[in-house]
Amino acid sequence: MEKKPHFVRREFLPREVPSISLALLLAAVLLLNVLLYLYLNKFSSSLGRVDTDPGLCPFGHFRLGAVKNCSPWLSCEAINREVRKLKCVGEGAVKKVFLSEWKEKKVVLSQLTNSELKEDFLHGLKMLKALQSKHVVRLLGYCEQEFTILTEYHPLGSLRGLNETLHIPKYKGMNTWHRRLMLAIDYVSVIRYLHSSPLGTLVMCDSNDLDKVLSQYLLTSDFHVLVNDLDALPLVNRSAGMLVKCGHRELRGEFVAPEQRWPYGEDVPFEDDLMPPYDEKTDIWKIPDVSDFFLGHVEGSDIVRLHLFDIHAACKRKDPAERPSAQDVLDTYRKVLTLLIREAAMPGAREML
């Protein structure tokens, strides 16, 4: 009789230990899935940032920094009286850009430099006013009479300096495939916004080479992408038969879309009047090259490229009508990010089991 309890212990104890271990493992896996869900949900909400920022002020107003109240766009008088130029930080074909100061805050003052291009300057101002959103640099004021625009200052500058920024010790932690893919998603989000803007389908024409594209966008301090230069943003209206041409000169090179190149061969001299117009799918053609820059050469970036191969191949189709829309590209990018985050988390779960 005394051996029965001993026999019972020998029979059941080995079964209880695995049961407890399995319960703990299942609980750990469940917790991991909950954390993964919250993580993906967080990035899903940040990726799906609405075009109209609920934190934005009413039209004609702005809010700068931590200030809660909205202020009206600064007028000519206010800009002349309250804004102080500090130094010139850039100059392009249309305007000169000055780092400036307004009420002890850094701002950017842009001024027309070539009177022959005043229509481009005013077009950029019109676009800037109409397209205020999370995708566009914040407008603080303007003076049409003096061809002056005041915008928010972003110390990290244009995307041309992205790789240099990511090598600064303060930002090295951002130099990952995940963060780089997030920037590419931001970029495609801007293109999608322009293609479905409140004004209609807009084409980013200042994009004849990679360096030019990168110069049109800013990197914010919290590592998001904003479009900054809207001087060359013509409208496509298919129903009215309205297509576009990016400038009046011949475009060359593999970076620009095939339909942007002279179609009649080297033996026929270029004539702007004979050059066929095109639509917004020129922007789609350039997405793979710009994204390749964003992804860089960090650990994991080649895996991202592999997952994006099919959508990028579709972007490079010669027939513009066969290329995906910016929304299609954006949806694919988001799915790839979610998939790769899940794959990065799941190996830990598999090891636990």
Query: What pLDDT is attached to residue 319?
Result: 98
Query: What pLDDT is attached to residue 13?
Result: 47
Query: What pLDDT is attached to residue 93?
Result: 84
pLDDT at 11 over 50: no
Residue 123 lies in a domain: yes
Is residue 167 located within the same domain as residue 231? yes
Is residue 158 located within the same domain as residue 135? no
pLDDT at 346 over 90: no
Alpha helices (runs of H) in the chain, residue ranges in sequence order: 3-47, 76-82, 118-130, 162-166, 177-195, 210-215, 281-295, 301-315, 326-352
pLDDT at 235 over 70: yes
Is residue 132 located within the same domain as residue 170? no
Is residue 191 located within the same domain as residue 298? yes
Is residue 198 located within the same domain as residue 132? no
Is residue 251 located within the same domain as residue 148? no
Residue 10: which pLDDT band, with cuts at 50, 70 and 90?
very low
Is residue 243 located within the same domain as residue 273? yes
Residue 174 lies in a domain: yes
Residue 29: which pLDDT band, with cuts at 50, 70 and 90?
low
Among 14-18, 92-96, 213-217, top mean pLDDT goes to: 213-217
Residue 13 lies in a domain: no
Is residue 88 located within the same domain as residue 210? no
- CATH number reported for the structural domain that contains residue 75 in this entry: 3.30.200.20
Nearest to 136 by CA among 211, 199, 83, 92: 199
Strand order in the sheet with 148-152: 83-91, 95-102, 105-112, 148-152, 139-143
Interval 94-113 mean pLDDT = 95
CA distance 76 to 137: 20
Interval 64-70 mean pLDDT = 85
Average pLDDT over all residues of the chain? 88
pLDDT at 176 over 60: yes
Q: The tokens of 60 are what?
A: 């004609």
| Domain limits for position 96 | 70-153
Is residue 206 located within the same domain as residue 329? yes
pLDDT at 64 over 60: yes
In terms of Cβ atoms closer than 10 Å to its own Cβ (0-12, 13-18, 19+), residue 13 is exposed
Report the domain count for the chain: 2
Quote the percentage of the chain above a pLDDT of 90.
75
Q: The tokens of 83 are what?
A: 């804004």
Which residue, 123, 153, 183, sits at the end of a domain?
153
Q: What is the pTM of this model?
A: 0.84
Is residue 165 located within the same domain as residue 91? no
